[in-house]
Amino acid sequence: MKNGVLALTFVMLVAAFAATIPGCATSSETVEPDTLTQYVGVYPPPPRGLAPVRLGVPNFKIIGEGGSRSLEEFAGAQLGTMAYQTKRFDVIERDQLEQLLDEQGLEGIVRSDELARAGQVRGVDYLMYGKVTNLRVKAERASRGFGFGSVPLVGIGGFDYKKKDTKVVAECGVDLRMVDPTTGKMDAAHFGEFKRIDSVGAFGIEILGVGAEADAELEITEDDKGKLLRLALDEAVRKMLPDIDRALEERARANAASQPAPAAVEPAPAAAGGQPAPEQPAAAKAFCPNCGAKLAPGAAFCGSCGAKISS
């Protein structure tokens, strides 16, 4: 009897200890909607009366972990789409931009992550280019209590990265620049770290597995990397908008100031009695507009080629 009571007490203590560790209890897998990207590309309207300018988006660059050629092309296309959705730019198609640079002998004007040299690109007011560094997804680290300290979610007492309510961390560095290619002047820029912690279901991604490195980096598909890249680029564009608006307004004012003032039209002198002076007849033509021969005064036809002379 005594042994039975001890065994029951032990089981109850183990159950109580397990309950103090978040996530150890069995829970059903829930599916959350992918809500993080629903506002991507939705931006405040531009200042009133601001005309869009022509923008080119050269090749993008993804440096370090998580990069690939297809992802770089996706990033460049997404950045161009987001720039268009701000309603501040007429965006040139990327293939058309490359053709313009090639035709004008300026294919070396931009590298994947910087403006190599200034140059007049006909039909382009600005270039927007940039790079992303170390795009990755990691397991969230959280305190567990009972001296466990800070440990990764994956592999700890019942945690499963395949569950939709498991928290993960997405992060990368983003560097964007909007440059006047004629002068090389950078009129707007953003450099910062994108970091977001949320559940797998809220991100709308699928975790394929865990890397062998000590930091437990998670493996995801190229499509899901693209989704996270959209979030990072959208945040960068959104933070650039105040500088973009300031630059475009300054450009509009400078263009308006450089336009010549319209010539004043002098009224015709008044005739006697205050009536406008009658219009003077047009001067007679001295040479035939058809063959160039000299015309007789008041001639209606050219004496050389017979062409009719209009008054």
Residue 108 domain-assigned (yes or no): yes
3-state DSSP assignment of residue 18: helix
**Two structure tokens written together for 120:** 């007049």
How many structural domains is the chain composed of?
1
Residue 279 domain-assigned (yes or no): no
**Two structure tokens written together for 305:** 């080629």
**Residue 278: pLDDT above 50?**
yes
Residue 302 domain-assigned (yes or no): no
Residue 301 domain-assigned (yes or no): no
Confidence at residue 17, expressed as pLDDT on a 0 to 100 scale: 46
**Residue 62: pLDDT above 70?**
yes
Terminal-residue alpha carbon distance, the chain: 131
Mean per-residue pLDDT over the chain, rounded: 75
- The CATH number linked to 181 is 3.40.50.10610
Residue 148 domain-assigned (yes or no): yes
Which residues are 192's β-sheet partners? Answer: 174
Residue 260 domain-assigned (yes or no): no
- Domain that residue 146 falls in: 33-253
Q: Quote the pTM value.
A: 0.66
- Gap between the Cα atoms of 37 and 231, Å rounded: 7
Q: 190 — phi, psi (to 5°)?
A: -145, 130
Q: Lowest mean pLDDT: which of 72-76, 195-199, 215-219?
A: 215-219
**Residue 3: pLDDT above 60?**
no
Confidence at residue 270, expressed as pLDDT on a 0 to 100 scale: 59
Residue 19 domain-assigned (yes or no): no
Q: Lowest mean pLDDT: which of 62-71, 118-127, 149-158, 197-206?
A: 149-158
Residue 244 domain-assigned (yes or no): yes
Confidence at residue 118, expressed as pLDDT on a 0 to 100 scale: 61
